[in-house]
Structure 1
Amino acid sequence: MTTPDSTEPPAPPGRRERKKAATRRAIADAALTLFLERGYDDVGIREIADRADVSTTTLFKHFPVKEALVFDEDADQEARLLAAVRERPEGWSVPAALCDHALRHRVPAAGGDPRFTAFAELVARTPALRDHLQNMWLRHASALASVIAEECGLPADDPACAALAHFALEAPRAARGQADPRVAVVRAFDLLEQGWGAQARRPEES
């Protein structure tokens, strides 16, 4: 039996997979539209299912909890997060790469994409969504710590890598409520940069 050539592109998804993905996207789009129109707490599951033209049973097959309707790209988020470290420009430190990622994907900019700004405001004013979002990001801490260790030639269980991963993921929450959240995020990462630099310069223990 021959082994498939690893250089060949993956086979395109079949009809069933495409239909499933389209249904999931339709549900998520319907939910976000309703949430932005009326607020997260004032929209029911039945309304979302009706807007997406699916049954509530189908909805829950794709999204087991209501909060997940707002955050339907968890795996993609982690992939982008890890790529920010692995594919950072030459000369960039890990904290600098993670700061850039946070500013591009977690903190809206003045005059930026209005839909992203509206989404961020929806999350900010809804406690259930704020908690779900933070828990979602912190689920990536272990994978991020491993990539940081790999990129820096440190042991996989190095506590400094775990600490950097955790605090980098927490930084946007620490900036919440500040007059300029983006400036606050940059200041938080400046602190992480200084600490990480000191860690890198620390002589090895005998």
Structure 2
Amino acid sequence: MSSTTTGSAADASPAPTGRRERKKAATRQAIADAALRLFLQRGYDAVGVREIADAADVSTTTLFKHFPVKEALVFDEEADQEASLLAVVRERPEGQSIPAALREHALTTRLASADGDARFTAFTNLVAGTPALRDYAQNMWLRHTTALAQAIAEESGLAADDPACTVLAHFALEAPRAAYTRDNPRQVVTRAFDLLENGWSTLARSKA
């Protein structure tokens, strides 16, 4: 964000930091783009880290500064995911249940539609077809369980330590795993969330 303060000293100080951050972001994006391109061309297991570094014109040391493990190269937007996930619960339309909002999020962001963007579909197929990436993606998502459970509790008027909130958060994040190897993943996710919806509705009625 640019400063509204006038004066040469105030104007000059943020600039170097901004340039450094932009350069770091550009390097990170170049590495991620090179990795995904090679993975889609030849498969995840067939591509080495050194080859990715060469394709991005960086050293392997630089690569690992941005991505500590090979799997992380495929998921370069993790930092934004939790905020987006919590917004699904907190900003859902009036009258929409929390499980329904989370189901919609799972269907539209974690499962690519077959008639959607071809590159995104290729990406999800890469993840679904690579056990190491499936496991990493799932573990990455499950890190958000505590924050999601807290948002659910706040929106539901339940205690922060209510186990029902943690259970709903965990299984909402876990549900898409069951769809990875199925012929109709959207149907699998929908049915999983139907179970969560029924259980949550029963809980809500008991609290009323």
Shift of 1:159: 0.3
Distance in 2, Cα, partners of 1:179 & 1:121: 12
- Select which of 77, 87, 91 maps to 1:87: 91
Shift of 1:203: 4.2
Deviation of 1:49 after TM superposition, in Å, equals 0.6
The whole-number CA distance in structure 2 between the counterparts of 1:203 and 1:190 is: 20
Q: Which digits, 9 at most, give the CA deviation of each residue in 1:80-105, with x for residues without a partner?
A: 11111111011100000000100111
The unaligned stretches of length 5 or more in structure 2 are 5-13
Q: Secondary structure at the match of 1:14?
A: helix
The answer to whether residue 63 in structure 2 is matched with residue 59 in structure 1 is yes
User: 1:171 matched to which residue of 2?
Assistant: 175
Aligned length, in residue pairs:
195
1:24 to 21, 28, 36: 28
Residue by residue over 1:120-151, the C-alpha shift from the partner in whole angstroms, topping out at 9 and shown as x without a partner, is 11111111111100000000011100000011
**Residue deviations 1:178-206 (CA, integer Å, cap 9, x gap):** 221101111111111000000111147xx
Equivalent residue runs for 1:52-201 within 5 Å: 52-201=56-205
In structure 2, what residue type is equivalent to 1:182?
Answer: R
Distance 1:103 1:125 in 2: 18
> What's the CA shift string for 1:36-77, capped at 9, x where partnerless?
000001101111011111111100100010000001111111
Deviations 1:8-28 (A, max 9, x none): xxx896100010011001100
The percent of aligned pairs where both chains have the same amino acid is: 73
Segment drifting more, 101-110 vs 175-184: 175-184
Q: Which amino acid aligns with 2:55?
A: R
Query: Secondary structure of 1:49's match?
Result: helix
- Find the aligned partners of 1:198 and 1:180 in 2 and give their Cα distance: 28
Partner-residue secondary structure (3-state), 2:29: helix
Q: Which runs of 5+ in 1 are unaligned?
A: 5-10
Q: Which letter does structure 1 place at the counterpart of 2:59? A: S
- Tell me, in whole angstroms, the C-alpha distance in 1 between the residues paired with 2:140 and 2:125: 18
Please tell me whether the aligned partners of residues 128 and 181 of structure 2 are also in contact (alpha carbons under 8 angstroms).
no
CA distance in 2 between counterparts of 1:48 and 1:167 reads 35
**Following TM superposition, by how much is the alpha carbon of 1:176 offset from its aligned partner in structure 2, in angstroms?**
2.4
Q: 1:51 to 1:155 in 2, by over 3 A?
A: same
1:202 to 1:37, Cα distance in 2 relative to 1, 3 A: same
* RMSD after superposition: 1.5
Q: Larger helix proportion, structure 1 or 2?
A: 2
TM-score, normalised to structure 1, is 0.91
Q: Distance in 2 between matches of 1:128 and 1:44?
A: 14
The ranges of structure 1 where at least 4 consecutive aligned residues each deviate by more than 4 angstroms after the TM superposition are none
